[in-house]
């Protein structure tokens, strides 16, 4: 029994400071990503989340260049990117799409420059890896209080806007007709989203941060019928994914090829993906088992297969 335990939690896992910071920061960030991610999914803003992460990578790589902690770079650029998107074109869906694309292209160009400088001038290939793919074991413990504070801010934004956001996700006109300031609520949520993306970027990197934001949430909305439950599920799946990722990355040090640990981000995203596949299969199976029992119910005709226009 202890042999199994020791094989899973290898020597030094619980005593390592780096692992402890990774578990705490990763866990907190996972909760925020899970909660914020549910509304990102419901509002169809997963691409916006990804765009913010790309913009954040400009800040992260820039911070490396000036020797600042990348988290601040991620945060400042992600939030500024959200503000810019909001300013350029919120009125029309097409305008928003173009605004996102334009901001994104410019920012990625800059991060290419910064990463090039980081790598050639400062001679650290680590910068590119850290910014793009994250290095959860290299987070300074002094950042922990900041991560917790930022997580609280991001979550608070979602909690304050909770009911209006739900109403708007049923139909924006319903919310507007009920007197919800739809645009302002959307802006607050975009702010929460940008902070969550920045936090996610420091744990698993800017490129993969969308996976932590969207994956658990997409799984949860398939499993839960209630919004609060969906958020609980989403947060739970995200936390389990991050912690499992940290554990597997730690253990992988002893896997072949020896003394060459696999990146934690890979494991986190892999677990997120497996959760999604599992939930998808489960939901399909449940639907197939139910269908014969449901039978034909009198009253309404069948739902239209699709809506035109």
Q: Helix 227-251 to helix 264-294 angle, to the nearest 10 degrees? A: 140
Which one of the spans 27-35, 36-44, 53-61, 79-87 is the region binding another protein (CB under 8 A)?
Answer: 36-44
Question: Which residue, 145 or 299, has its beta carbon nearer to another protein?
Answer: 299
Rule CB under 8 A: say whether 186 interacts with another protein.
no
The structure tokens listed for 178 are: 């009920």
Question: Which residue, 73 or 186, has its beta carbon nearer to another protein?
Answer: 186
The structure tokens listed for 136 are: 């959860």
Rule CB under 8 A: say whether 3 interacts with another protein.
no
* DSSP code of residue 261: P
Rule CB under 8 A: say whether 272 interacts with another protein.
no
CA distance 53 to 40: 13
Question: Which residue, 7 or 152, has its beta carbon nearer to another protein?
Answer: 152
The answer to whether 32 and 198 have CB atoms below 8 angstroms apart is: no
Which one of the spans 22-30, 86-94, 236-244, 295-303 is the region binding another protein (CB under 8 A)?
Answer: 295-303
Rule CB under 8 A: say whether 94 interacts with another protein.
no
Q: Using alpha carbons only, what angle is made at residue 200 by residues 199 and 203, rounded to the nearest 5 degrees?
A: 95
The structure tokens listed for 133 are: 């793919």
| Shortest Å distance, C-beta 200 to another protein | 21
Question: Which residue, 145 or 179, has its beta carbon nearer to another protein?
Answer: 179
Q: Classify residue 243 as exposed, middle or buried by CB count within 10 Å of its CB (0-12, 13-18, 19+).
A: middle
Rule CB under 8 A: say whether 307 interacts with another protein.
yes
Near another protein by CB under 8 A: residue from 221, 235, 242, 279: 221
Rule CB under 8 A: say whether 229 interacts with another protein.
yes
CA distance 57 to 46: 17
Contact characters 148-177, another protein, x per CB under 8 A = -----------xxxxxx-xx-xxx-xxxxx
| Shortest Å distance, C-beta 154 to another protein | 16
Which one of the spans 35-43, 88-96, 141-149, 245-253 is the region binding another protein (CB under 8 A)?
Answer: 35-43
Question: Which 3 state secondary structure label does DSSP give 171?
Answer: coil
Rule CB under 8 A: say whether 67 interacts with another protein.
no
CA distance 204 to 136: 7
Near another protein by CB under 8 A: residue from 10, 18, 42, 280: 42
Cα torsion 188, 190, 191, 193 to 10°: value is: 130
| Shortest Å distance, C-beta 243 to another protein | 24
Near another protein by CB under 8 A: residue from 66, 123, 225, 296: 225
Sequence-ordered list of residues with C-beta below 8 angstroms from that of 155, at least 6 positions apart, any chain: 31, 32, 35, 36, 192
The structure tokens listed for 127 are: 């910068």
Q: Which residues bind another protein (CB under 8 A)?
A: 38, 41-42, 159-164, 166-167, 169-171, 173-181, 218, 220-222, 224-230, 297, 299-304, 307, 309
């Amino acid at each position: 029994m202890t042999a199994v335990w020791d094989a899973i939690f290898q020597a030094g896992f619980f005593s390592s400071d780096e692992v402890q910071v990774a578990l705490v920061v990763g866990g907190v960030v996972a909760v925020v990503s899970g909660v914020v991610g549910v509304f990102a999914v419901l509002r169809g803003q997963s691409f916006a989340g990804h765009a913010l992460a790309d913009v954040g990578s400009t800040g992260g790589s820039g911070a490396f260049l000036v020797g600042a902690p990348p988290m601040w770079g991620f945060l400042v650029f992600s939030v500024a990117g959200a503000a810019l998107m909001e300013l350029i074109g919120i009125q029309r869906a097409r305008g928003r799409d173009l605004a996102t694309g334009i901001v994104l292209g410019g920012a990625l160009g800059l991060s290419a420059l910064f990463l090039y400088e980081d790598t050639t001038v400062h001679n650290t290939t680590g910068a590119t890896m850290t910014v793009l793919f994250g290095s959860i074991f290299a987070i300074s413990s002094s950042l922990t209080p900041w991560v917790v504070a930022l997580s609280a801010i991001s979550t608070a934004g979602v909690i304050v806007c909770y009911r209006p956001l739900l109403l708007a996700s049923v139909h924006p006109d319903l919310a507007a007709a009920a007197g919800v300031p739809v645009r302002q609520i959307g802006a607050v949520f975009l702010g929460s989203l940008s902070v969550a993306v920045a936090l996610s970027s420091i744990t698993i990197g800017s490129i993969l941060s969308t996976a932590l934001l969207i994956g658990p949430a997409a799984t949860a909305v398939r499993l839960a019928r209630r919004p609060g439950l969906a958020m609980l599920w989403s947060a739970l799946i995200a936390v389990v994914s991050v912690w499992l990722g940290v554990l597997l990355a730690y253990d992988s040090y002893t896997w072949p090829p020896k003394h060459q640990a696999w990146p934690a981000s890979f494991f986190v995203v892999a677990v997120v993906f497996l959760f999604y596949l599992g939930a998808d299969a489960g939901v399909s199976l449940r639907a197939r088992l139910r269908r014969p029992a449901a039978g034909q119910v009198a009253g309404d005709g069948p739902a239209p297969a699709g809506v035109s226009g």
